Structure 1
Amino acid sequence: MEKTIKKIGVLGGSFNPPHNDHIRIAEYIRNRLDLDLFLIVPNALPPHKDTCHVEFSHRRRMLQILTENHSALQISDLEKDPNVPHYTIDLIDKIKSEYPQSTVFFCMGMDSLIYLDKWRNGLDITDKCNIVVIGRKGYSVDDSNPEVKDYLKTHAVYESDSTFSEKLNEKKGNCFLLKECFNDVSSSKIRQEFEEYYKTAEQHMDLAEYADKFPYSLTYLDRGIIEYIVKNSLYRKRES
């Protein structure tokens, strides 16, 4: 008999490129909240980013490489259309339509929460589901925009709160703030390392040479993803 999907975690983003902390965060939240399903949703056309020049198919393939040993994480193609911008508020509607009986937890980092009022209907997301916020080094809830601070007065549920476990059973209305803190990984710094490599490289390197060329990327990228990026010449500097 198939297990009932009661609780679903959702992590969206451009994943440009996907890195190890994406997986660490997803697995941590999945285990902490005892989720039945965790969806990773790459966005073909992020509305707030103009640096996502790598095709959706490449970013999805890199996610496949990254998650191949994480069977509990499932890649979703709900935002694969490259012709229209995709917004979280609409993504939640799609997921709730597909899983009408499930409780949805949309996951984000503290670096996103503090600017949530700048998202399209960002402060209305908890009218449809719950939000889960993971700590990011260098960011604090105290850094939130004024509108977000007001929002948190009525929606925040801290992990130390006595009502935390009880609130997890509610289908919407809560913004759960977890204590665990992860590194603020710079995707732009990763992309920059590859740009610099392409300026001087005459041929593709073998894996043994990566350590000197990609010191930051090797810290956060799966080696299979580094190989994929180099093989497909991703993150070359675009001609102006």
Structure 2
Amino acid sequence: MHNNDPQPAIGFLGGTFDPIHFGHLRPALEIGEALSLQQIFLMPNHIAPHKSSSHCSAKQRCEMVKLAIQQQPKLALDNRELNRAKPSYTLDTLKELKVSYPNNPICFIMGMDSLISFNSWFQWQEILKYCHLVISQRPRWHGQFNSAVQTVVDECKTIDKQDLHNLQSGKIYFQTTSQLDISSTEIRKLLKQNISIDYLVPEAVNGYIKQHQLYR
């Protein structure tokens, strides 16, 4: 499917975002800036209803993402996974994204830990047909890969960010980002203990959590 009209590359970052915090937002923005991506879409994952009883609803997770990014034009929300009745495989989501964005190269952003276990993903050999992988990594930290993943990294790794724009898919690019040691689990724990979460999440998200008494 050759189209004469290639569009700029766009990024996607999935996560439960329960709640979203600066540890998600800062690396996403840094990747967008470093790689000149037109936009980065934050894609909240579906959580099975029985799992989310202690946390908050899909709608609330969505609202918090919207509040977190309202001042940042480079970041956007994609809620297609939330609107499904059940969790979806990354591959299915990527196939769907290709239909929505046929001419934009898609950069799927993941952490080093996800790449290390990449060969356990559903039909993982197919994934790079639909996107590039951008690996958000700690400064000076290099993953130890098993042989299956190492082979793919050797075949697909690029250090030329232009490849992410000029090719539709198939490359793996490592981008150093600020790794803020913040986790949603830790934030929920602090809230349960009535301890402040100021400076861990955007102020608007903090206000929303207070207003709706989430994670208490």
Structure 1 vs Structure 2 CA RMSD: 2.4
Contact 2:138–2:176, Cα closer than 8 Å, also in 1? no
User: Residue 27 in 1 paired to residue 29 in 2?
Assistant: yes
Residue correspondence of structure 1 range 216-231 to structure 2 within 5 A? 217-231=197-211
Q: State how far apart, in whole Å, the 1-side matches of 2:205 and 2:9 are.
A: 30
User: Residue 150 in 1 paired to residue 151 in 2?
Assistant: yes
Residue correspondence of structure 1 range 24-173 to structure 2 within 5 A? 24-45=26-47, 50=51, 53-81=55-83, 83-136=85-138, 140-142=142-144, 144-157=145-158, 161=159, 164-168=160-164, 169-173=166-170
User: Residue 182 in 1 paired to residue 182 in 2?
Assistant: no
AA partner of residue 155 (structure 1): C
Q: State how far apart, in whole Å, the 2-side matches of 1:58 and 1:27 are.
A: 22
Report the count of equivalent residues: 208
**Which gives a bigger RCO, structure 1 or 2 (Cα 8 Å, sep 6+)?**
2
The percent identity for this pair of structures is: 27
Q: Report Cα offsets for 1:148-202 as digits up to 9, x if no partner.
A: 2232121222xxx4xx1342221111111113342242211111111222xxxxx
Secondary structure of 2:28 counterpart: helix
Structure 1 residues 65 and 37, CA, compared in 2 at 3 Å: closer, same or farther? same
Secondary structure of 1:111 counterpart: helix
TM-score between the two structures when normalised by the length of structure 1 = 0.77
Larger radius of gyration: 1
Residue matched to 1:235: 215
AA partner of residue 129 (structure 1): C
1:90 CA displacement? 1.2
Which stretches in structure 1 are left out of the alignment for 5+ residues?
198-212
Secondary structure of 1:233 counterpart: coil
Structure 1 residues 166 and 36, CA, compared in 2 at 3 Å: closer, same or farther? closer
Contact 1:138–1:184, Cα closer than 8 Å, also in 2? no
Q: State how far apart, in whole Å, the 1-side matches of 2:186 and 2:52 are.
A: 12
Q: State how far apart, in whole Å, the 2-side matches of 1:88 and 1:218 are.
A: 33
Which stretches in structure 2 are left out of the alignment for 5+ residues?
1-5
TM-score between the two structures when normalised by the length of structure 2 = 0.85
Q: State how far apart, in whole Å, the 2-side matches of 1:145 and 1:218 are.
A: 39
